[in-house]
């Protein structure tokens, strides 16, 4: 087989897993990692699943490796925080068969709440790390990562970034290895991490680090490209592509294995160039370690620590006369200031819209979570007061409630999506009931993991591989936890939403409201006639604009700003019909 194809980094990692004979793959959706598992389902030799969260996903993959199957685990950078508990001890137990963890980082935060640099996890967990710089390397390094994992009996971190995951480049496909069926073999001192056994395993981890450093010095997962020796650049990942783009004449040491660092290789390279630079995105991860070898190096004083790099920023870093850029100006400087911005918005017909319109009237403190509904923080809705991490809406609502002074009577409402609730909201709800904290927890159930493009989850009724699955009953779960007031409402029915919110926020015990409309991008089945506005009845009050629906447009008629409905966009959810006080908006059949 020798076909040249154009694949994204994510498609190439999936292909690499297939070629490496992976049998089990698990993950949780998160940009920019999601498409790896979506693509893996095309390979029939691999069992793949969405787990409820990254911790469970990693444990499934670890168990598979214990049990004798090569296993791949995928997640976005912040997902590794969730999976870090098993990860740090899996370093001690080792793996038996190969285990590769893909951490897809998001420098520049295209779709994330922070831009943490997960290279630190390799150091923290004392496991080897590979960093591909294009799709061919995504495939190659995935295959190599499994070999290293087995030879050194350790999980391997394959660290990528958005531009590598979502960038496409060419590679030739190779034939897949036949998946191997191993067996779980009892080995108490290796797999049961009680202190006495774990202490012995820690010694093994430290010995392994010494051998891994040797591998790092001798591996071919690197490239030394000699050019003009007045400038030497050490780099890795996507930054390598930018360096070669803007500095084709420089000498470059491109590292594919970035933890542990190849000390001898770096000393040798440094001794042959006049001036040594490190070009890396985010933290000075390579830079600080190189400096600790006693080598003088130029890094973060020339290349920004904030935001993602691009060819322009890398070029500016090498130009002494250029302004040293310290901020993430990559996106701002692309747009002309005269062009209105086009921020992401809730889709026309999104079931969240009406709910938030009503919630705004409650004058509540609203703790938010991670999902499409976080967009309700933007104008014109501006309903959300906090958003930290997956599941944080519930815990922080309870904390805010406990901190409120007796004269502060604002209700506290947590807003969380169905997939996020299953991911890490359930324990928060248990806390609310256990400790009797009067907060209202709203589960906006749209039957999918919407923000990442609509992935299945335990309450959606289907598996990643397309099989029907038992649908977790969120209302029954809330009742089983002990919530007395569980209200299920249709978010298109604003009156019902308001009634539920007024009731729930006035009780002195925890309450749950569940909205039950599927994501409008999922369910295209219902297409009733479009809503329309009778211009002569529109008074120009502009109240309908407060719901922020893209299908509502302004039009000037009789010198007045009035509303009009864009029929190409309208999904006939009927929210604007209910919002209009002058009955100017209606549906043809009404």
Partner 1 sequence: MSTRTTNIRLAGVGGQGILVASEALCDALLSSGFDVKKSEVHGMAQRGGTVNSDVRFGPKVFSPIIPEGEVDLLLAFEQMEALRYLPSLKAGGVVIVNRQRILPSAVASGKLEYPAEIESRLAEHAAEVISVDGLTLAKEAGSVRSVNICLLGALSRFLDIEESVWESVLTERFRNKGLEANLRVFALGRGNTGTR
- Interface residue list for partner 1 (CB under 8 A): 4-6, 31-32, 34-35, 110-111, 134, 162-163, 166-170, 238, 241-242, 244-246, 310-312, 315, 333-336, 338-347, 372, 375, 379-380, 451-453, 542, 545, 548, 550, 552-554, 561
By the 8 A CB rule, do 207 and 248 touch? no
Residue among 89 and 113 whose Cβ is closer to partner 1? 113
Cα 40 to Cα 47: distance, rounded to the nearest angstrom? 9
CB-side exposure of 242: number of CA atoms within 13 Å? Answer: 24
| Residue closer to partner 1 (CB basis): 337 or 466 | 337
Minimum CB separation of residue 310 from partner 1 in Å reads: 6
Minimum distance, C-beta of residue 98 to partner 1, in the bound complex (Å): 28
Q: How far is the CB of 415 from partner 1 (least distance, A)?
A: 17
Q: Which is nearer to partner 1, 162 or 419 (CB)?
A: 162
Would you say 385 or 553 has its CB closer to partner 1?
A: 553
Cα–Cα dist 244/318, whole Å:
12
Q: Phi first, then psi: give them for residue 76, nearest 5 degrees.
A: -85, 170
> What is the layout of strands, in order, in the sheet containing 156-161?
47-50, 24-27, 71-76, 99-105, 156-161, 129-130, 257-259
Q: C-beta of 247: minimal distance to partner 1 in Å?
A: 10
To partner 1, the closest distance from the beta carbon of 144 in angstroms equals 22
CA separation (Å) from 308 to 166, 254, 261, 336? Answer: 14, 19, 23, 20
The answer for residues whose C-beta is within 8 angstroms of residue 214's C-beta and 6 or more apart is none
Distance CA 173, CA 1 (A): 7
Nearest to residue 10, comparing CAs of 163, 147, 155, 116?
163
Complex with partner 1: residue 429 or 551, whichever CB lies closer: 551
- Minimum distance of partner 1 from residue 452's CB (angstroms): 7
Whole-number minimum distance, CB 30 to partner 1, in Å? Answer: 9
> For residues 344 and 588, which CB has a smaller minimum distance to partner 1 in the complex?
344
The residue with tokens 């992935």 is: 455
Listing DSSP states for 443-467 in one string gives: EE--SSBTTTT-B--TTTTB-TTS-
Q: Using the minimum distance from each CB to partner 1, give the nearer residue, 333 or 473.
A: 333
Q: How far is the CB of 328 from partner 1 (least distance, A)?
A: 14
User: Which residue's CB is nearer to partner 1, number 195 or number 343?
Assistant: 343
Identify any residues that bridge with 225 across adjacent strands, giving them in sequence order: 252
């Amino acid at each position: 087989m020798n076909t040249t194809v154009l694949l994204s980094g994510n498609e190439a990692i999936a292909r690499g897993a297939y070629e490496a004979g992976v049998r089990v793959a698990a993950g949780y959706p998160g940009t920019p990692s999601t498409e790896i598992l979506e693509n893996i389902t095309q390979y029939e030799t691999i069992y793949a699943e969405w787990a409820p969260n990254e911790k469970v996903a990693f444990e499934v993959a670890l168990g598979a490796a214990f049990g004798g199957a090569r296993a791949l685990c995928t997640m976005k950078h912040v997902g590794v925080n969730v999976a870090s508990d098993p990860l740090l001890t899996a370093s001690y137990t080792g793996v038996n068969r190969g285990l590769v963890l893909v951490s897809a980082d998001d420098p520049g935060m295209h779709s994330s709440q922070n831009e943490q640099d997960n290279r630190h996890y390799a150091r923290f967990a004392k496991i080897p790390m590979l960093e591909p710089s294009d799709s061919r390397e995504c495939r190659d390094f995935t295959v190599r990562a499994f070999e290293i994992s087995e030879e050194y009996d350790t999980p391997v971190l394959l660290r990528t970034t958005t531009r590598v995951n979502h960038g496409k480049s060419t590679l030739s496909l190779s034939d897949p290895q036949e998946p191997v069926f191993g067996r779980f073999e009892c080995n108490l001192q290796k797999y049961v991490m009680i202190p006495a056994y774990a202490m012995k395993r820690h010694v093994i981890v430290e010995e392994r680090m010494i051998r891994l450093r040797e591998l790092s010095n001798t591996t071919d997962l690197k490239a030394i490209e000699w050019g003009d020796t007045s400038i030497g650049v050490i780099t890795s990942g996507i930054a390598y592509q930018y360096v070669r783009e803007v500095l084709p004449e420089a000498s470059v040491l491109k590292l594919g294995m970035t933890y542990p660092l190849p000390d001898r290789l770096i000393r040798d390279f440094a001794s042959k160039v006049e001036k040594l630079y490190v070009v890396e995105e985010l933290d000075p991860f390579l830079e600080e370690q190189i400096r600790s070898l006693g080598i003088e190096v130029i890094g973060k004083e020339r290349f920004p620590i904030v935001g993602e790099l691009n060819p322009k920023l890398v070029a500016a870093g090498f130009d002494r006369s250029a302004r040293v850029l310290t901020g993430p100006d990559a996106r701002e400087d692309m747009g002309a200031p005269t062009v209105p911005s086009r921020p992401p918005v809730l889709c026309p017909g999104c079931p969240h819209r009406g709910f938030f319109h009503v919630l705004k009237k409650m004058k509540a403190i609203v703790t938010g979570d991670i999902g499409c509904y976080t967009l309700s923080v933007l104008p014109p809705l501006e309903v959300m007061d906090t958003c930290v991490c997956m599941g944080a809406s519930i815990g922080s609502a309870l904390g805010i409630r406990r901190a409120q002074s007796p004269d502060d009577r604002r209700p506290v409402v947590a807003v969380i999506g169905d997939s996020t609730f299953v991911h890490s909201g359930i324990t928060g709800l248990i806390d609310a009931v256990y400790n009797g904290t009067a907060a209202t927890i709203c589960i906006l159930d749209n039957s999918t993991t919407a923000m990442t493009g609509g992935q299945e989850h335990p309450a959606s009724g289907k598996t990643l591989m397309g099989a029907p699955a038992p649908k977790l009953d969120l209302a029954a779960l809330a009742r089983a936890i002990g919530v007395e007031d569980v209200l299920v409402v249709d978010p298109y029915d604003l009156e019902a939403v308001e009634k539920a919110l007024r009731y729930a926020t006035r009780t002195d015990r925890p309450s749950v409201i569940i909205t039950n409309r599927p994501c409008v991008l999922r369910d295209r089945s219902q297409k009733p006639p479009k809503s329309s506005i009778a211009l002569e009845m529109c008074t120009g009050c502009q109240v309908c604009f407060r719901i922020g629906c893209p299908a509502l447009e302004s039009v000037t008629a009789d010198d007045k700003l009035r509303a009009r409905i864009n029929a190409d966009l309208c999904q006939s959810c009927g929210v604007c019909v209910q919002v209009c006080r002058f009955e100017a908006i209606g549906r043809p059949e009404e």
